Amino acid sequence: MNIDERAAGFCRDNEIPGYLAGIDRAGQRSVVVHGIANTATGAPMRDDTGFLFGSITKVMTTTLVMRQVEQGRLDLESRVVDHLPGFRLAGSGAAGEIRVRHLLNHTSGIDADLFFPRSHYLERLARECGSLFAPGEHLSYSNGGMIVAGHLLEAITGRTYHDLLERDLFPPAGMTGSVTSAEQAILRSTAVGHFPGPSRPTSMFTLPATWAAAGGTPIGTISDLLAFGRLHLDAGLLSPESLAAMREINSDPGTPAASPSGLGWLIRTVGDTTVLTMTGASPGGVAVLAVIPEQDLVFAAYGNDPRALELHDEFLSGLAGASTIPTWAPQTIDLRPYAGTYRSNQLRVDVRIVDGELEEHVTYEPTDADQERIFTGFIGGPFTAPPMRYVAVGPGLFAPAGFPLDALPAHYLVSYHAVTDRTGARYRSSGGRMTRRAGI
């Protein structure tokens, strides 16, 4: 697989401005660079160009938490409120039952995936966000859980989250190009995200600083991500026991539509290979970090257009040795248990049966004008989602209608969970994120 040629061809065919990719195999490192970092300035991508890590930061947050566990300041099974007394959730006593582990493996149930306050995060969380499910009951990818983990680190250490990154993670990992703010990043080569149709630079570089621990602010290079990935192959910053704990499956959603979770990592099976991975979305950009222990390999990439995710997946599949994409087949099942309205923080999904298929209509319902500005800045414009049809490919498992089922990546699937005769499905999951049936 010639990554350089494929990246150039993909970016040309899809009008993606720029792309970076790196491979570290047994300590031997190579980096591929293509295109433009910022179309507004014409600045080229370089091998030392910085970019937002996005949610890859969640693995860094978990690494910092595991250091505190090793030092005896935290226990994964301890209650978060015992260390962070101000942690509450609206209309629910569930906060008192959330353990440190739940924050790191996406099973906390905190309903705050699209919650974007600029300040006073914990105070507003207590007033405005509740629970999707009891702690540990299900897996739902959680920005809120990781942000609370960042506040937990600050309470335990008495230091800011950014200071912990800058002093306790970046230097020992050899992440010499990493910074924690746009003000620092602007002093060096830095890529900005772009949105398609035609390609245009983002008008919002970072998410609010309140999102730092979930991936709102840290910025670095491909070499930095490769160095961080290498930490999770070679004991040093963390003990072998901590590395093994992060790699162990903590929760499995039981559906091919979502990956099981370790601690910090999502754990994918690509072909016959186990891959520790995390994707990092940012305004108009998308990064990925993958560690393949059995191959002693780290892969990292960034594209400054969200459509680069397809190329990330292609390269990762090739590196992991996957020769085929799973094949799905239409099935005839009773659709009635899945129809209804499902909700999570600021998101509503109306599901109905139309012509023997499920039709989903997703609506964004912003809490206030400021959060709407942040969300629309993140996605590049007003949220508009036409109704989408789905066909059953298994009990509680649906694929988008009209897509070729013999070459459909699993992350395109939608799954439904906790189905009963009385209420039907209690939860809908898309992209590993759950919404809960309204009225239950």
Which residue reads 């149709």 in tokens?
197
Share of the chain above pLDDT 90, in %: 90
N-to-C CA span, the chain = 50
3-class SS at 112? Answer: coil
Query: How, if at all, do strands 28-38 and 43-44 pair?
Result: antiparallel
Token pair for residue 177? 């190009």
Provide the 8-state DSSP code for 45: P
pLDDT at 265 over 70: yes
Task: Tell me the whole-structure pTM to 2 decimals.
Answer: 0.97
Q: What rounded mean pLDDT belongs to the chain?
A: 95
Long-range CB contacts (< 8 A, 24+ apart) of 244-248?
245/66, 245/76, 246/62, 246/63, 246/66, 246/276, 247/276, 247/293
Supply the pLDDT for residue 120: 97
Supply the pLDDT for residue 411: 85
Nearest 5°: the CA angle 242, 248, 254 is 155
Provide the 8-state DSSP code for 50: B
pLDDT at 36 over 70: yes
Share of the chain above pLDDT 70, in %: 99
Supply the pLDDT for residue 1: 65
Distance CA 290, CA 297 (A): 8
CB-count exposure of residue 158 (10 Å: 0-12, 13-18, 19+):
exposed
Supply the pLDDT for residue 197: 84
The boundaries of every CATH 3.40.710.10 domain in the chain are: 1-323
Supply the pLDDT for residue 321: 85
pLDDT at 185 over 90: yes
Q: 195 falls in which pLDDT band (50, 70, 90)?
A: very high
More confidently predicted of 75 and 404: 75
Q: 92 falls in which pLDDT band (50, 70, 90)?
A: confident
Give the contacts of 234 (CB within 8 A, at least 6 positions apart): none
The boundaries of every CATH 2.40.128 domain in the chain are: 336-437
- Classified by CATH at the fold level, domain 336-437 comes out as Lipocalin (2.40.128)
Q: 439 falls in which pLDDT band (50, 70, 90)?
A: confident
Supply the pLDDT for residue 239: 96
The reply to whether omega before 253 is within 30° of 0 (cis) is no
pLDDT at 17 over 90: yes
Phi, psi of 330 (to 5 degrees): -60, 145
Instruction: Report the pLDDT averaged over residues 106-124.
Output: 97
Supply the pLDDT for residue 408: 84
Instruction: Report the pLDDT averaged over residues 327-347.
Output: 95
- Classified by CATH at the fold level, domain 1-323 comes out as Beta-lactamase (3.40.710)
Q: Which of 438, 426, 267, 245 is nearest to 347 (CA)?
A: 438
Instruction: Report the pLDDT averaged over residues 19-43.
Output: 96
pLDDT at 323 over 80: no
